[in-house]
Amino acid sequence: MPHHIPKAMTIAGSDSGGGAGIQADLKTFHALGVYGTSVLTAVTAQNTIEVAAIAEVPDEVVIAQIDTVAEDIGADAVKTGMLTNRSIIQNVADRLEAWGIPWLVVDPVMVSKSGASLLNPNAVTALKTDLLPLASIVTPNIPEAEILAGMAIANDDDIREAARRIHDLGPAFVIVKGGHLDGPAVDLVYDGTSFLPIEGERIDTRNTHGTGCTFSAAITAFLARGLPPIEAIQMAKRYLEAALRNSTSIGEGHSPVNHATELPPDVVKALAVHR
């Protein structure tokens, strides 16, 4: 019997600077031993300082990319990133539901690291009603969780309430990333029953471009390799910490993480078990 090659699909926008979006996702998939395919939803003119322009890919081309890859190569797990409008979100949700993808990680990309808006306001409702009910895992940071939950977040109690509200929208697991708050870098995972804090090292670096994309892509890669959700989240955080710790400065703004970092021993062990 031929060896199964784990495969992951990313449905997201292109970052011409190479640090986020499709580029970060494919680098992450490769680093974690997963064959990556891509569905381009938008093209951005972007560097470490700014997003200068965004051009959306027509819906029919997005649909064709999903169908063409799915019918031949398939995917063990899929992640979504930048989906800029209601129509694209609805069409992506329709095609993923039709293909019956085993795992779906939704990274609700709304704002770039430089502060530029990446999601049209009229798309938020579609994200909540069409895509999140299909999600295995959704990975908002604090600003994104505030939008999805419709509330301000200032402390741990707020994070828990926001996670509950987002879980009510349909995803199996909600991860509210705590990196935007002061203190330790603690992400909170909620499965509808209990909360699991996942603590990590807060790394002092400006090289944080693409951290959200990299984290969600790593979760997707680990799911594609057969790790259960909680372990996939834990290993993704360990990989991201290493990528941050070993990053180098590129450009004048927020440089990207190092996707080709040496993998931590526990990540290597997890990959060896789930070949």
**What's residue 15's pLDDT?**
95
Compute the average pLDDT of residues 36-46: 96
1 in any annotated domain: no
Handedness of CA 142, 144, 149, 152 (dihedral sign): positive
CA separation for the pair 43, 255 (Å, rounded):
19
Q: Is the pLDDT of residue 1 over 60?
A: no
The catalytic position among 10, 28, 211, 214 is 211
2 in any annotated domain: no
The catalytic position among 27, 79, 177, 237 is 177
Total tally of structural domains belonging to the chain: 1
Compute the average pLDDT of residues 172-182: 82
The catalytic position among 17, 210, 237, 261 is 210
- Residue 7 is among the residues annotated as catalytic for this protein: no
163 in any annotated domain: yes
| pLDDT classification of 275: cutoffs 50, 70, 90 | low
- Residue 210 is among the residues annotated as catalytic for this protein: yes
Compute the average pLDDT of residues 71-98: 97
- Residue 177 is among the residues annotated as catalytic for this protein: yes
The catalytic position among 41, 139, 208, 220 is 208
The catalytic position among 139, 212, 220, 237 is 212
> Which pTM does this prediction carry?
0.95
Higher pLDDT: 179 or 93? It is 93
- Residue 211 is among the residues annotated as catalytic for this protein: yes
- Give 200-216 pLDDT, tens digit per residue: 888 888 888 899 999 99
Q: Which of 161, 162, 102, 87 is nearest to 134 (CA)?
A: 102
List the domain range (segments joined by +) for residue 247. Answer: 7-273
Task: Say which CATH number the domain at 23 has.
Answer: 3.40.1190.20
